[in-house]
Structure 1
Amino acid sequence: MKYAYEDLSDAQFESLIVFLCQRLLGISVQGFAKGPDGGRDAKFVGTAELHPSKAAPWIGTTIIQAKHTNGYNRNFSEPDFYSAKAANTVLNKELPRIQNLRAKKQLDHYMLFANRRLAGNAESEIRKHISIQCGLPESSIYLCGLEQLEVFLKVFPEVAALADLDPIDCPLIVSPDDLAEVVQALASHKDAVGALLDDPPTARVSYETKNALNNMSAEYAKAQRRRFLKETAQIRAFLAAPENLELLHLYESVVDEFQFKVIAKRKDYQTFDEVMEYLIDLLFSRDPVLRQHAHKRLTRAVLFYMYWNCDIGEVDDAETD
């Protein structure tokens, strides 16, 4: 069975890796804990049971890192994750911590798991890079991508159950596909919809009332309204046009998914500001159309329209007042 690893939370992915490493290394693998420098590592001290093999197991201290992303079809070679030259990458940010542990003789072997695809040439290049930068033999470095992770879970099927890979426990994850189609269509027809109107439609409930119900901060609400309120008229006109009926249905499917997911996971966020920003970050990370520079503002505007139009968020019974 294949799992949607991108739909897991960071904590769920870390839990999965701990249970897997308990099979590969030994039951005494210690779970991920935040270190003094803010990083999160798991650790095993002793002789590994199976890794890299029973005949020649690792001996000593093994440090394990798990790097999770909500993005689709990501790989180790993407410039945000690894670059031999750029310092501001996921991997290169970890190198000083590995170097420090190595210098203190608190690291003999290093394992990195990520829900990204890992090609053979990239594996060799990255392993060599870590070896040179950290003074660690290449034979003491192990990288695991999606392909090998799938193999491990077939060999150890109980690991997924132990990690509670249950869709009900997944974080606030929504699909960006339908929204991307709506945004792309809206962007291409924006001029035909008409100029921005000075009198945008009235909200179905008082904006202040809705903000109070949803615990949206006054500062965030004011900034949202100032930047995107006028665009709600264009979006409404576009979706109401008879020729855009199919896009309206796509929009409705999006808001249904968003609203039910928000209701289910609302307790995980203190303010609705956090919900909105989490959704935006998630949408941009998971869809190349939405994260295009030309579409970023429009995506935010459509999400604001959903909130303003009471398609997402709590409205109580105020709309009937």
Structure 2
Amino acid sequence: MIPLQGNRLTSKAREAFGLHSLGWSSFQQLCLTITREVLGQTVESFLDSGDGGRDGAFVGTWKTARQEHLSGPFVVQCKFTSKINFTLKASDLFDEAKKVKKLVTRGLCDSYVLMTNAEISGTGAEKIQSVFKAVGVKHVVTFGSTWINQQIRESKRLRMLVPRVYGLGDLSQILDERAYL
């Protein structure tokens, strides 16, 4: 449970949400919600299995806050870990890079957005970007746990849309048949 004081998050909650406890499916839903609500892009999501290396996809012009305009096919990939304080390294993504290379070859990935609940250092982000650029991706963006936690902290609407970040289960886990009578 995320501690609240009035309508504000306490200092402990400001540090980090328990993203590792969400599970991969809820984390993927969180990432796609962040893509829509924070980054302003509606992405297509795919089945949990057989996604071909794409948890989400977008084709068109992506306008960033820095007024940079990127266009073409985008792949959004959500990498979840249940390990607390895990730092993602480029070497953890070599299998992923092979999938992305196939997507690039088929014209399905000019830009790659990696979202993870793992920690990513600055030098780690550079190395990860190099891995994906080496297989033909033109633009690579990495969003790690620090950035995701910041978005959750700063967006009341995001917290409302993804109530699991408060440590609550979804309603089907909370309600039983008595609630339907």
Normalising by structure 1, we get a TM-score of 0.44
Match of 2:71 in 1: 59
Separation of aligned partners in 2, 1:46 and 1:38 = 20
| Identical aligned residues as a percent | 21
Separation of aligned partners in 2, 1:21 and 1:48 = 11
* Deviation of 1:151 (Å): 2.3
From 81, 89, 95, the counterpart of 1:69: 81
Match of 2:179 in 1: none
Aligned-residue CA RMSD in angstroms? 2.3
Structure in which a larger fraction of residues adopt strand: 2
Mapped pair 1:20 → 2:44: no
Structure 1 spans left out of the alignment, 5+ residues:
84-88, 171-263, 265-321
Please show how residues 192-207 of structure 1 align to structure 2 within 5 Å.
none
1:160–1:34 CA distance, 2 compared to 1 (3 A): same
Separation of aligned partners in 2, 1:12 and 1:102 = 27
1:154–1:168 CA distance, 2 compared to 1 (3 A): closer
Match of 2:112 in 1: 110
Are the counterparts in 1 of residues 53 and 77 from structure 2 also a CA contact under 8 Å? no
Separation of aligned partners in 2, 1:155 and 1:119 = 21
Please show how residues 217-232 of structure 1 align to structure 2 within 5 Å.
none
* Deviation of 1:3 (Å): 1.2
Please show how residues 76-95 of structure 1 align to structure 2 within 5 Å.
76-77=88-89, 82-83=90-91, 89=92, 91-95=93-97
| Partner secondary structure for residue 163 of structure 2 | coil
* Deviation of 1:14 (Å): 0.4
| Partner secondary structure for residue 93 of structure 1 | helix
State the Cα deviation string for residues 11-67 of structure 1 (Å, max 9, x = none): 1100100010013142x3112434647645211122224x3x351122222100111
Question: Partner amino acid for 2:67?
Answer: A
* Deviation of 1:68 (Å): 0.8
| Partner secondary structure for residue 73 of structure 1 | coil
Matched length: 156
Are the counterparts in 2 of residues 46 and 60 from structure 1 also a CA contact under 8 Å? yes
Mapped pair 1:135 → 2:149: no
Are the counterparts in 1 of residues 62 and 70 from structure 2 also a CA contact under 8 Å? yes
| Partner secondary structure for residue 48 of structure 1 | strand
State the Cα deviation string for residues 98-132 of structure 1 (Å, max 9, x = none): 11111111111101111111111111111112211
Larger radius of gyration: 1
Separation of aligned partners in 1, 2:95 and 2:145 = 22
Separation of aligned partners in 1, 2:131 and 2:53 = 20
Match of 2:100 in 1: 98
- Considering Cα pairs closer than 8 Å and 6+ residues apart, tell me whether 1 or 2 has the greater RCO: 2
Question: Partner amino acid for 1:15?
Answer: Q
Are the counterparts in 2 of residues 15 and 31 from structure 1 also a CA contact under 8 Å? no
Normalising by structure 2, we get a TM-score of 0.76
Separation of aligned partners in 2, 1:10 and 1:37 = 14
